[in-house]
A and B are shown apart, each in its own frame.
Chain A
Amino acid sequence: MTGWHLDDATLRRYVERTDSLAEGASAEQHLLTCEPCRAQVNAAVDVIDLAAVWDRTRDAIEVPRPSVFERLLRAAGLPAHEARLVAVASAFRGVWLTGAAAVLAFAALAAAIGHDHGVWLFLAVAPIVPCLVVASSYDPWMDPALEPELVTPYPALRLILLRTIAVLALALPAVVLFGLVIPGETPFAWLLPAAGFVAVVLAASTWVSPLRAAIAVSCVWLALVSLLATRPGSPDAIIQGRAQAGFLMLAAASFVIFILRRRQLRQLRPWR
């Protein structure tokens, strides 16, 4: 103990860590030997909530970090908890990304070939990929955690629509990019058929399994495109305004059916 003690201002700067390095070292040295000053420091320091510190430490270790996709969803205005729900949906990690990659691959192939066959191939595959990945995002066969998800209060309808919009949001930028590579408007021609097929799958999933609906839609579309490809003419038939209007009507009608029958989505229960 010495006759000298830390004055109030020095003590406050030390506690608040606003002192200089030299002043802090001096105060530290004095506190090692001065019991009354240590008591004053103890009284001045707020009680540290060790439990809160421990929780923050565990949060840093355990809480999953937001993915790039989740951050994008938040930036797009989706509330944090819903962005998380969409981003952690299991299908995002495998099937969805595979589907998006398939779109890119076929688009690249079509661009490389650069003639009617390539365009036919693109038109055959690109519109059905979104409906297949949307279906796989909530089909009982593809979602391993479906049963616990289903008996939560979160509306299944909302979850399905969020996932649907999210997967479409993933695919659209790819189309725009490839639209710059492929000459003409063809790369964008699949957008309305794709929207129509996604809506058909949503509507049909109030009767049958989403994946079955998507597979049926895909088979019909592939058969139709194959038939058209064997006939004289170019893929323009699908791009024409009349055909596009048909797809638009298909999308609208299917979505209305889906909304009207949404309560039947309780049949999302496993068919297995």
Chain B
Amino acid sequence: MPTASINLRDVGRRFGATRALAGVSLDLKPGVTGLLGPNGAGKTTLLRLLATALPPTQGQVSVLGLDPEVPAERTGIRRRLGYLPQEVGFPRGFTAFAFVDYIALLKEWNQPGARHAEVRRVLGLVGLSGLGAKRIRAMSGGQRRRVALAQALLGSPPVLILDEPTTGVDPEQRVVLRTVLAEIARTSVVVLSTHQTEDVAALCERVIVLDRGRVRYDGPVTDLTGQAAGRVWLADEPDPAASVSWRTGTGRYRNVGSRVRDGVEHVAPSLEDAYLLLRGGSPEHEPTEEVAS
């Protein structure tokens, strides 16, 4: 069986006069790739392009060797794709089982016995095996997110596109989901966006940092974290030399920056430190001219 892959060449996407993505070239192989970036960086636009929910306005996208611009090939991609959008609305009155069953029908699971077994399997994967008959409206935010994730896992797709899969999910379930995704990623291309750097650190071999629609970093998580080595230190007060400082639970200040004074107390950097350093210390730098979807 050929190895699953996604290839992007100089891909861009505009919404009218607004540029959401520009000049993105990527080759994605089986494994988990994390997308990081501030709000409006173009993460959701990129994921929607990969999921065939949106065509690019520039460049070429190839998913599993198929061209999403060609209708028959786009259908071929969709047969082997799992997609969790950033926001999923649920039809009124649906139970968790009914919703996933409905999406399974659209994914051509026409044989009722096999379909029901698959629905039960994916609900089990996300920890909802006992809640299939529960109405989605009566579920917590984290449970609803897991229902939405379950539909993406139908059929163990070779390409899995997940937009903020762990939003609202409690820590225990996040650990469970990481295990599930790591198992799937042995043979599938898994691309996920998140604001949780700890999810990326725990799950992803590769991280892509987007900023204003462009790729700012693309490489191993460990390399990105390594870039912050010697640039994170603790102090009793916020250090003016730091790009960003914040008060920790111990009452001391964690400082991140490129200009490090002598004699400071260095600490091991986290992925979040490295991300903030890359971003120039601005935790939420909103683009001024371009607003991405």
Task: Name the one of A64, A85, A155 contacting B98, with C-beta atoms under 8 angstroms.
Answer: A64
Which of chain A's residues 76-108 have a Cβ closer than 8 Å to chain B? 79-81, 84-85, 88-90, 93-94
- A266 on the B face (CB < 8 A): yes
| Chain B interface category by residue count | 35 or more
- B256 on the A face (CB < 8 A): no
- A242 on the B face (CB < 8 A): no
Interface of B is mostly: mixed
What separation, in Å, do the CA atoms of A144 and B137 have in the docked complex? 13
Task: Name the one of A58, A151, A154 contacting B132, with C-beta atoms under 8 angstroms.
Answer: A58
A88-B98, A147-B85, A263-B71 as given contacts; A63 in contact with B116, CB under 8 Å: yes
Interface flags, B100-114, vs A, CB<8A=1, else 0:
011101111010100
Interface flags, B146-164, vs A, CB<8A=1, else 0:
0010011000000000000
Measured between beta carbons, the chain B residues less than 8 angstroms from A184 are: none
- B33 on the A face (CB < 8 A): no
- Chain B residue nearest to A88 (CB atoms) is B102
Smallest CB separation, B76 vs chain A (Å): 8
A62 with B133: CB separation less than 8 A: yes
Measured between beta carbons, the chain A residues less than 8 angstroms from B99 are: 145
Measured between beta carbons, the chain B residues less than 8 angstroms from A35 are: none
A62-B132, A64-B101 as given contacts; A150 in contact with B53, CB under 8 Å: yes
- A28 on the B face (CB < 8 A): no
A147-B85, A148-B103, A269-B54 as given contacts; A94 in contact with B92, CB under 8 Å: yes
A85 with B78: CB separation less than 8 A: no
Task: Name the one of B78, B93, B112 contacting A80, with C-beta atoms under 8 angstroms.
Answer: B112
What separation, in Å, do the CA atoms of A145 and B84 have in the docked complex? 11
Measured between beta carbons, the chain B residues less than 8 angstroms from A269 are: 53-54
B102 with A81: CB separation less than 8 A: no
Point out which of B53, B90, B102, B106 has the most chain A C-beta atoms below 10 A from its C-beta.
B106
> Number of A interface residues, CB 8 Å?
34
A151-B51, A151-B83 as given contacts; A88 in contact with B91, CB under 8 Å: yes
- A55 on the B face (CB < 8 A): yes
Point out which of B52, B85, B90 has the most chain A C-beta atoms below 10 A from its C-beta.
B85
Measured between beta carbons, the chain A residues less than 8 angstroms from B133 are: 61-62
A63-B101, A80-B112, A152-B78 as given contacts; A266 in contact with B83, CB under 8 Å: no
Interface set of A (CB-CB < 8 Å, partner B) = 55, 58-59, 61-64, 79-81, 84-85, 88-90, 93-94, 143-155, 159, 263, 266, 269
Can you sample 14 A-B contacts with CB below 8 Å?
A55-B116, A63-B116, A64-B98, A84-B102, A85-B106, A90-B91, A94-B92, A144-B88, A145-B88, A145-B90, A145-B99, A147-B53, A147-B85, A151-B53
